[in-house]
Each structure stands twice: as structure tokens, then as C-alpha cells.
Structure 1
Amino acid sequence: MALLTLDAPAQPAQGTARIAASDGQHDFDWEIGTWKTDLRRLARPLSGSQEWVEYSGTSLVRKVLDGRANLVELRVEGPTGTIEGASLRLYNPQAKQWNLNYASVRNGMLTRPVHGSFRNGRGEFYGEDVLDGKAILVRFVISQVTADSARFEQAYSEDGGRSWETNWLATDTRIGDAD
């Protein structure tokens, strides 16, 4: 599979204060706090199945590394069990992009990161992974962001990005501010 590359956004021509304000390092600041998470997950992605499983629980998001990163702790429960994991999001100031890394308690594994940034209030992150021994592309989108809610969508592509199958939909609603 070819290496996935993403172009860094162009820097504005204005002075340093303008660049610092728009460089992306604070793109996740809105999310710091505690959230009610309602999640739908496709039971068998890229299999042709349309069976969705629903979960509900919480996400706790906090700043780490002086705000240059954040940590999300997810715990949701549904009819097929519990999904529990953590996402470490690290900002790369040279690329002006975020790297999102997810660790699952279920298998003790860290997924391959997705990389990207926010533009016009929408975050798009792309990466490569393996599903059932087959190389795939991953797209993770954060949209409909307000002070008190946001939508998260993950999709897989097995054809190099020509088509995408959504397999994860989550809506977070704020239930508490950061400590």
C-alpha cells in the first residue's frame, strides 16, 4: 500500500500573533471536559452487513503536556458489551496537524494513528490500518461542533479511498467542564 501523505495547510502571511492564533494547536480546546457519548458501531465493517450496535456512556477529555496534547478516556456499554479505550491526540507544530492514536482495553493494542487538522470547524483525519489481515484506509471526521456537542464519524475504505463505509457514529453532549 502506498504511503498516505497529507499536505500541511499554508501559513498565513500576517504576523506571528496571527500564526499562533490559527496554527491549529488549540483546535481541541473546546472538547476539554466530560461528555455523554451515544455511539453506533457497525458490527462487521467491510463485510456487507448493515447490523449496527448501540452503546451509551461517557468520554472524559483532558489536556496533557501543557495543552500540546489531550487524552480522551472512552467508556460505553451496549447489548454486546463494553467499549473502553483511550485516545491520545498529539499536535505536530511543524506539520500543523494532529495525530490521533487509539488504544483499546479489549485487546491491549494501539491502532495506527490518523493525521489531519480542522478547517472551517470540521476536523478530517486520515490514516492506514489493517482489518482482518487486509490493508485499509481510515477516515475520521469531527463535525457539528458546538460548545456543548459534537459528532464523530469513522469510515473505512478498502479501495484506496474511492468509496468509504461508515462504521462508527458518535454524538457527544457536554455534561461537565474540565476540572
Structure 2
Amino acid sequence: MNAIAMIEDGRRDFDFLHGEWTVAHRRLKRRGAGCGDWENFSGTTVCRALMGGICNVDENHMTERGHAGVAFRAFDVARRTWSIYWVNAMEGLVGEPVHGRFEDGIGRFYGDDLDDGRPVKVAFVWLVENPEPAHLSQAVCHWSQAFSYDHGRTWEENWTMTFTRIPGRG
């Protein structure tokens, strides 16, 4: 085992995501408007490590929606935190990052952004089932996004994704 693989400072936290996945999306039809209507659609994700795992990138395709995007994650060794950036294929722009880490098996990441011109606080949460190497072929993970329009006093979950590993592609 090499020295990088033995480091347990958080830089390996997203190793579970490497590989190919089917994704069940659930997205709120209108954010920040008190809407309770959700839309469901499917997609695929392929994630790979860069620079020995200190960075990773995943490409997301939501074919039913005619949409795609890329998530790029980079680990800050000194702070022991991840920064996650999103590039929307429709605009081609790198969005504002969220920052955070995994603690007790839950990844929590926070940042500031704009939603249709309105300032929002953003929260991402990652949960992983069967993250151990022996169970990676059975891995399922969950991601959710929530926005706060009132500086973090209340939160509205507006997008969830359930990832299921494609057998033999992890």
C-alpha cells in the first residue's frame, strides 16, 4: 500500500464515488416559492479520480432533460476540507463552490450562490450505503441540495439524487 492510500485526513472521502452510476433525480419544480411539486427523471454519472485521488471529476448526463454537467472536487490538505464546483452545460460557467468534509459518515458542504439573481446559502449532504471496499459493487449513495433564502434560518431541500452503482463498473 502506498503512503497516499494510508493517509486518513479526508482526501479519500470521495473514493466511494469512483466508477459508473445510474442516478434517480428528484427536483423541486420551483425553488424558493413554497412549491411542493417535484419532478422525477433519470441520469447517469461517471466519476474518476485525478492526481491520486486528491481531486475527482464526475460527468452527469440527464438525457431525459437534455442536460449535462460536471462536478469537480478538490481536497485542501491543510484545511482537510473539500471544495466542490459545478459546471452547467447550458452556460459553461464554473459555479460558486461549496466547502466541507465528511464526519461520522455524512458529508456536509456549504457555500453562497445566486438562484435566479437572489442570494442563497447552499447546503449539499452526501450519505453512503455500503462504503467498505468489499461492498462497493453494492454501493448506493444519496446527495441532496438545499437553499436558504434567509441567511440559514430555514432551508428548502430542492434536489435529491440517489446513485446506484452499475455492476462491474466501479
TM-score, normalised with respect to structure 1: 0.83
Alignment deviations for residues 125-158 of structure 1 (CA, whole Å, 9 cap, x no partner)? 0000011221110000001432311000000001
Instruction: Describe the SS at the equivalent of 2:108.
Output: strand
- In the other structure, the counterpart of 1:72 is 58
What percentage of aligned pairs have identical amino acids? Answer: 35
Name whichever of 41-50 and 155-164 sits farther off. Answer: 41-50
CA RMSD of aligned residues (A): 1.5
- In the other structure, the counterpart of 1:8 is none
Q: Identify the match of residue 132 of structure 1 among 83, 99, 116.
A: 116
- State the distance in 2 between where 1:59 and 1:114 align: 20
Alignment deviations for residues 28-63 of structure 1 (CA, whole Å, 9 cap, x no partner)? 111110001000111211011122111102100001
- Residue-pair matches, total: 158
TM-score, normalised with respect to structure 2: 0.88
- In the other structure, the counterpart of 1:100 is 84
Q: Identify the match of residue 104 of structure 2 among 120, 123, 132.
A: 120
- State the distance in 2 between where 1:120 and 1:22 align: 13
- In the other structure, the counterpart of 2:157 is 166
- In the other structure, the counterpart of 2:45 is 59
Alignment deviations for residues 44-95 of structure 1 (CA, whole Å, 9 cap, x no partner)? 11011122111102100001122210001001234xx223100000000011
Contact kept in structure 2, 1:103 and 1:110, CA below 8 Å: yes
Q: Which runs of 4+ in 1 moved over 4 A?
A: none
Q: Structure 1: state its 5+ residue gaps.
A: 1-16
- State the distance in 2 between where 1:51 and 1:75 align: 23
Instruction: Describe the SS at the equivalent of 1:66.
Output: helix
Alignment deviations for residues 95-126 of structure 1 (CA, whole Å, 9 cap, x no partner)? 10000000010122221000000011110000
